[in-house]
Amino acid sequence: MPRPWFKRRYRDYEIEPDQIFLDDANLSNLDRQQFEGVIESPIAHRSLFALGGFFVLVFLLFVGRLVVLQIAEGQNFFAQSENNRLRQVPLFAERGIIYDRNNVEIAWNTSPDEGDDATFSYRAYTPLSGHGHLLGYVSYPQKDSSGNFWRYAIEGQAGLEKKYNDLLAGINGAELIETDAGLNAISTNTIATAISGENLITTVDSRIQHNLYEAIRLQAEAGGFQGGAGSIMNIRTGELIAFTSYPEFDPYTIAEGDDVEAIRGFFNDSRKPFLNRVLSGVYSPGSTVKPFLGIGALNEGLITDQTTILSTGRIEVPNPYNPSAPSVFVDWRSGGHGVTDIYHAIADSVNTFFYAIGGGYRGQEGLGISRIEEYARAFGIAEPTGIDFGDEALGTIPNPDWKEKTFADGTWRLGDTYNTSIGQFGFQVTPIQMTRAVAAIANDGILVTPMLIRQEPEKTPVPIDIPAEDYAIIRRAMRETVTTGTSGIVNVPEVAMAAKTGTAQVGVDNEFYNSWIVGFFPYDNPRYSFSIVMERAPEWSDGSAGRAMREFITRVTEDYPEFWQDPTLD
């Protein structure tokens, strides 16, 4: 038989004796579960070394961790263990109380509700509306998930609470509590006594503030106004007895932070309830600037109280490029006001009279834009009032430089002067500026710094020398505005008012308007100046700031008649 062309390869397998001699029947009855009858083979040296290395590594890790815990971080853990035994907790200082001018509490402290584990007092605020922007609100101490305080202070977040936080807050104390392993108190020791904050006495009369706010609110709701603001100031000292803005937020709701829906409503309100319109709102003043142009024209000798100008309801300025299309500037009364002097011009708010004394017309010389700006700024219009509170806006007085920066066609024209003369064309002021400016008319030229906290008055004279006779003429004109003119709505028996109203068209298509009233009282012996602005009503509305002022007078007469009987008003 021939051999195959390939050669089989065999491996050399070692056959164990038990594989040969032991049969599958296990005749020897060996316990195979205990490995009887199995020939043992030794563990490989490599496996032994690997297992030994594993145990050495684990040992080294434990030793390293012990070194870290006992040596490197031992002192820290010792301090922590001591803190577990001795725990320091804050003793919260009582916050100072805020009072109105009559020592009525308008912000004070209340104890936590029963079952509340808070160790500090909560803040409570007057239930009278109108104090939100004045008082502001606070934030409270907070604990982490372990029950330890991470915020230690009651801090003012807005208004007087924020402005005078350092005074009101006081100084926290501290208490040392010794506990056992179960954190049960063993002993308590005070290591620093809490020092209560100082009280604050404001210049505000809370009842006057409330009534002014409610008058503005009611007029806003009735007339469709977006908002409003008002202030009343002592013309001799600068003390603000009312300082309010509508709409407002509720200090209590914001401070507590529990009513999420209400808080979200404040932030989402398109009327901007967090805007303090008295200080930070800027508005076209409209005709409320006319008394200041009048006093400028009197002082410059451009007119006297006997000067008259014929008002036909419009003036025309020739157009050198198109003589058939002159520029026309109209009065609010289409038929005009007839022969007009300064008294009649202010009382009836005669636009054409102020076009003439502002920009000049025919034979009447005008102040011109430079002197208009000079006199407006002399009375603090579009200038900081110096009030030590909040973020104060400044406003704008239009002039050639402003127009050049604002408009593509920056050429200043006579018509711009005319429009500025009646408080339009980019003219913007704040309500607090107007309250202060009118006070300077009432007190013969002294600019007082508005204040909300009683202190020594700050006074500076109007920086232009103006005779007392000119101030008297303007005051008389503002009184006639009430008795026979456009402010007749505040002609009341309770007190002799002197005032000036104003209206300014706003919006892309002049579809809204702002309404003003400014003035002082009583006329014969002035003590208080005031301003109210009602913001952005639709053109169909018949609402006005004058109506708001009349509502205020009515409310005070019913609720607080002794205010009008104050002997210092006589």
pLDDT in tens, 461-500: 999 999 999 999 999 999 999 999 999 999 999 999 999 9
The domain that contains 94 carries what CATH number?
Answer: 3.90.1310.10
The domain that contains 554 carries what CATH number?
Answer: 3.40.710.10
> Cα–Cα distance between 8 and 564 in angstroms, integer?
132
DSSP classification of residue 129: T
Q: Round to the nearest angstrom and report the end-to-end CA distance of the chain.
A: 153
Asked if residue 28 is part of any domain, the answer here is no
- In degrees and rounded to multiples of 5, residue 322 shows phi and psi of -150, 85
Which residue is associated with the tokens 């104090």? 131
Asked if residue 121 is part of any domain, the answer here is yes
Asked if residue 57 is part of any domain, the answer here is no
Q: Examine the domain organization and report whether 401 and 544 are in the same domain.
A: yes
Asked if residue 561 is part of any domain, the answer here is yes
Taking the CA atoms of residue 45, residue 47, residue 49 and residue 55 in that order, the dihedral angle to the nearest 10 degrees is -150
Q: Examine the domain organization and report whether 397 and 514 are in the same domain.
A: yes
User: What is the per-residue pLDDT for 458?
Assistant: 95
| Structural domains in the chain (count) | 2
Positive or negative, the CA dihedral 281, 287, 288, 292 is positive
User: What is the per-residue pLDDT for 116?
Assistant: 62
User: What is the per-residue pLDDT for 305?
Assistant: 96
User: What is the per-residue pLDDT for 570?
Assistant: 39
Asked if residue 456 is part of any domain, the answer here is yes
- Asked if residues 563 and 556 have their Cβ atoms less than 8 Å apart, the reply is yes
Q: Where are the beta strands (DSSP E) in 180-279?
A: 185-192, 200-201, 227-234, 240-246
Q: Examine the domain organization and report whether 340 and 433 are in the same domain.
A: yes
Residue 176, both tokens: 């040392």
Q: Examine the domain organization and report whether 411 and 373 are in the same domain.
A: yes
Q: Examine the domain organization and report whether 210 and 95 are in the same domain.
A: no
Q: Examine the domain organization and report whether 191 and 213 are in the same domain.
A: no
Please give the residue range of the domain that contains residue 473: 206-569
State which of 201, 222, 245 marks the end of a domain: 201
> CA Rg, the chain, in Å?
42
Q: Examine the domain organization and report whether 211 and 188 are in the same domain.
A: no
Asked if residue 17 is part of any domain, the answer here is no
- Asked if residues 139 and 155 have their Cβ atoms less than 8 Å apart, the reply is yes
State which of 165, 184, 201 marks the end of a domain: 201
- In degrees and rounded to multiples of 5, residue 275 shows phi and psi of -80, 120
User: What is the per-residue pLDDT for 569?
Assistant: 46
- Asked if residues 299 and 467 have their Cβ atoms less than 8 Å apart, the reply is yes
For residue 518, which of 483, 557, 481, 560 has the smallest C-alpha distance?
Answer: 481
Q: What is the pLDDT along the chain (570 residues), one digit of tens a residue?
A: 555 554 555 455 555 555 555 555 555 565 655 556 555 666 677 777 777 777 778 787 777 777 766 676 666 665 555 555 667 778 889 999 999 999 999 999 998 766 566 688 899 999 999 999 999 999 988 888 777 788 888 999 999 999 999 999 999 988 887 766 565 666 677 778 889 999 999 999 999 999 999 999 999 999 999 999 999 999 999 999 999 999 998 887 887 777 788 888 888 888 898 899 999 999 999 999 999 999 999 999 999 999 999 999 999 888 777 877 888 999 988 888 999 999 999 999 999 999 999 999 989 999 999 999 999 999 999 999 999 998 899 999 999 999 999 998 889 999 999 999 999 999 999 999 999 999 999 999 999 999 999 899 999 999 999 999 999 999 999 999 999 999 999 999 999 999 999 998 888 788 899 999 999 999 999 999 999 999 999 988 999 999 999 999 999 999 999 998 865 543
Return all residues near 277 (Cβ < 8 A) that are at least 6 apart.
227, 228, 229, 245, 246, 431, 533, 535
Return all residues near 240 (Cβ < 8 A) that are at least 6 apart.
203, 204, 231, 232, 233, 234, 450, 451, 452
Asked if residue 387 is part of any domain, the answer here is yes
Q: Examine the domain organization and report whether 423 and 279 are in the same domain.
A: yes
Asked if residue 542 is part of any domain, the answer here is yes
Q: Examine the domain organization and report whether 216 and 188 are in the same domain.
A: no
State which of 201, 221, 237 marks the end of a domain: 201
Q: Examine the domain organization and report whether 343 and 409 are in the same domain.
A: yes
Work out the number of other CB atoms within 10 angstroms of the CB of residue 89: 15
Q: Examine the domain organization and report whether 182 and 237 are in the same domain.
A: no
User: What is the per-residue pLDDT for 62?
Assistant: 77
Q: Examine the domain organization and report whether 142 and 217 are in the same domain.
A: no
